[in-house]
Amino acid sequence: MFPGFIQGALVAVIIILAQTTKRIHSEDTVDETHVLSLTKDTFDDAVKNNKHLLVKFVAPWCGHCKALGPAYAAAAKKLVDSGSDIKLASVDATIEQDLAQKYDVKGYPTIKFFSDGTTFEYTGGRAEDDIINWLKKKTGPAAAELKTVDDLNKLKEANEVVVIGAFQDTDGDVAASFLQVAKTVDGIPFGITSNKDVLKELEIKKDTIVLLKKASSNKIRGRLFFYFLEFQFDEGRNDLTSTIDEGSIREFIQANQLPTVVDFNAETAQKIFGGDIKVHVLLFASKKGSDYEKLRGEFQTAAKQYRGKTLFVSIDSDDEENERVLEFFGLKTTDVPAVRLITLKDEMSKFKPESSDITSAVLTTFVDAFFDGKLKPHLLTQELPEDWDKTPVKTLVGTNFHEVATNKKKTVLVTFIAPWCGHCKQLTPIYEQLGEKYKDNQDVVIAKMDATANELEDIKIQSFPTIKLFPKDSDEVIDYQGERTLEALSKFIDSNGQEAGKIPEETAEQTEEADEEADAGHEDL
Catalytic residue among 9, 35, 46, 62: 62
Q: Catalytic residue at 465?
A: no
Task: Tell me how far apart the alpha carbons of residues 494 and 411 are, in angstroms, rounded to a whole number.
Answer: 9
DSSP code of 11? H
Q: Catalytic residue at 65?
A: yes
Q: Catalytic residue at 424?
A: yes
DSSP code of 100? H
Residue 169's CB is within 10 A of a number of other CB atoms, namely 10
Q: What Å distances lie between residue 314 and 150, 255, 265, CA to CA?
A: 36, 17, 9
For the packed helices 63-81 and 3-26, what is the interaxial angle rounded to 10 degrees? Answer: 70
Helix (H) or strand (E) holding 284: strand 279-285
Q: Please tell me whether residue 326 adopts helix, strand or coil conformation.
A: helix
Q: What Å distances lie between residue 472 and 302, 406, 458, 498, CA to CA?
A: 50, 9, 19, 13
Catalytic residue among 210, 339, 424, 447: 424
Q: Nearest-CA neighbor of 212 among 204, 223, 220?
A: 204
Task: Tell me how far apart the alpha carbons of residues 129 and 72 are, in angstroms, rounded to a whole number.
Answer: 10
Q: Nearest-CA neighbor of 190 among 180, 199, 201, 200?
A: 180
Q: What is the 3-state secondary structure (H, E, C) of 120-189?
A: EECCCCCCHHHHHHHHHHHHCCCCEECCCHHHHHHHHHHCCEEEEEECCCCCCHHHHHHHHHHHHCCCCC
Q: What Å distances lie between residue 461 and 382, 450, 452, CA to CA?
A: 17, 10, 9
Q: Amino acid identity, residue 510?
A: Q
Side-chain-side CA neighbours of residue 353 (13 Å): 22
Task: Tell me how far apart the alpha carbons of residues 393 and 415 are, in angstroms, rounded to a whole number.
Answer: 10
Catalytic residue among 421, 446, 447, 456: 421
Q: Find the radius of gyration of the CA atoms of the chain.
A: 26
Preceding omega of 392 cis (within 30 degrees of 0): no
DSSP code of 377? P
Catalytic residue among 65, 161, 393, 412: 65
CA angle 177/182/188 to nearest 5° reads 145
Q: Amino acid identity, residue 451?
A: A
Give the chain's end-to-end CA distance (angstroms, integer). Answer: 26
For the packed helices 360-371 and 292-303, what is the interaxial angle rounded to 10 degrees? Answer: 40
Task: Tell me how far apart the alpha carbons of residues 251 and 300 are, in angstroms, rounded to a whole number.
Answer: 20
Helices and strands (H and E) in the chain: how many: 18, 22
Q: Nearest-CA neighbor of 112 among 102, 122, 104, 99?
A: 122
Q: Amino acid identity, residue 407?
A: N
Q: Catalytic residue at 62?
A: yes
Q: Amino acid identity, residue 120?
A: F
**Looking at the annotation, which residues are catalytic?**
62, 65, 421, 424
